[in-house]
Chains A and B, each alone.
Chain A
Amino acid sequence: MRCGACVGTCPVNAMFLDEYQVTVNEDCIDCKLCTRTCPVGALAMVEG
């Protein structure tokens, strides 16, 4: 959806939205809040 909801809730500001995709940088702390924020369940954490 590229709605930016996850970007706004990320507690460590590790997510970014550009025209095509959401990107996550190395600051990610694996809290998985973004996966719950996404209203349509489009985000998943990949192990490793």
Chain B
Amino acid sequence: MAEVMEFDMVVVGAGPGGSMTARDAARAGLDVLMIEKRQEIGTPVRCGEGIAKIWLDEVGIEPDSKWIALEVSGARIVAPNGQYVDLTEELAGNETGFVVHRDIFDRSLAEEAVRAGAKTMLKCSATSVIKDDRGFVVGVRAKQWGKEYELRAPVIIGADGFESQVGRWAGIDTKVKAKDVNTCLQYELVGIDIDKFYNEFHIGSMAPGGYVWIFNKSEDSANVGIGVNLGMVKQPGEVKQYLDRFIARQPRLSKGQNVETVAGAVSVGLPLESVTTDGLMLVGDAARMIDPLTGGGVSNACISGQVAARVAKEAHEAGDFSRAFFQRYEQGWRAKIEDQLYRNYIAKEKLLELSDDTINKIIDALQGYRIERITTADILRMVQERYPEIMNELADLL
């Protein structure tokens, strides 16, 4: 017989999105439970660990030396021929600034949630959602230490990441097409040569439909990872082959040793049309809010979590937990991040089509410019001057 427990809100998943939702809802006075299927929060890390600084203030996260591995000055975009341009922080904006220890970062956010009054249950797996006779989601069934629970609340938050089950159980169509998924592998290499002030992004056929990243964790170590578009993967294990080949070709990397292997998938499609249903809101990766160009998900998870917490509080005040009421959440998160998701989706789709030769020429055309503030139009103008013959390929970016 399942034990029944009641709360104002139950959050499934204790990543950044879950913790932010739990923290802000608890601060607003709600009785919040956050459950996590793993026995500890923050591990295993499934992330390149590069984040921007600009959004931290907005969501009320104080940069803390305990989770900052390194502060970088910008992003180095490297063409297949090795030529590169450096984008300073203001321009690269979105996903550069800090390289973090995600395990400590996640733990720290969860601690903030707990200090705000949220409760946690670890090693606690949700197994299904509970619906009432109106079809509203009113809880989750869960298991912890072999014991079954019914965790009931009028607001359920699905913060269970890319492989979100909560959304699917609740009837939200979260299916994602192969072409909208990048499958990723990363090694933390120690004993390598890097310019610690620049995180590297290598684009071209070495990572079809994605890129290779080198996100620096110290003077001589970095997360070296790859994302490849699933639509372009032909054989099992191909992603590992691409990454191994990339590393083998560069003595500065191949002399290092791997101390941690990370794998995972990210969605690189457009955001879901709906991330709510009666009684339920999805936040972060579970809601497919990952940036399609960079694959970064932490900032959007936190931003959406904050909006979800506010709307949950308002729903409690209004006594209305319907999908119609949760449109406030849909409007809130879309106002903050949807434009960028669409813009970067279009940019990513364009990048998919470019040949190595074209990428080499674009990077070459940008040589000699100090890039701080730049628009797509500026880039196109520079390319036009040097390589008018590839303008046809880029025309639809105008």
Contacts and interface: CB of A to CB of B under 8 A. Distances in A.
Given A35-B236, A37-B181, A8 B176 contact: yes
A38 B183 CA distance: 7
Interface in B77-134: 125
Contacts, number: 83
Contact of B163 (A17, A39, A43, A44): A17
Contacts of B384: none
A40 B164 CA distance: 22
B265 interface: yes
* Chain B interface main SS type: mixed
Contacts of B264: 3-5, 39
A4 B238 CA distance: 17
A40 B185 contact: yes
Interface stretch (B16-24, B59-67, B227-235): B227-235
A1 B237 contact: no
A40 to B, nearest CB: 5
Contacts of B354: none
Majority SS at the chain A contact face: loop
Given A1-B261, A3-B263, A39 B178 contact: no
B168 interface: yes
Contact of A9 (B46, B168, B178, B237): B178
A35 B233 CA distance: 10
Interface residues of A, number: 24
Interface in A1-48: 1, 3-9, 11, 13, 17-19, 33, 35-44
Contacts of B235: 36, 41
B244 to A, nearest CB: 10
A39 to B, nearest CB: 4
B308 interface: no
B153 interface: no
Given A8-B162, A8-B164, A40 B176 contact: no
B265 A40 contact: no
Nearest to B175: A11
B147 to A, nearest CB: 16
Contacts of A43: 236
Contacts of A36: 178, 183, 230, 233-236, 238
A1 to B, nearest CB: 4
6 contacts: A1-B261, A36-B183, A39-B239, A39-B264, A40-B185, A40-B240
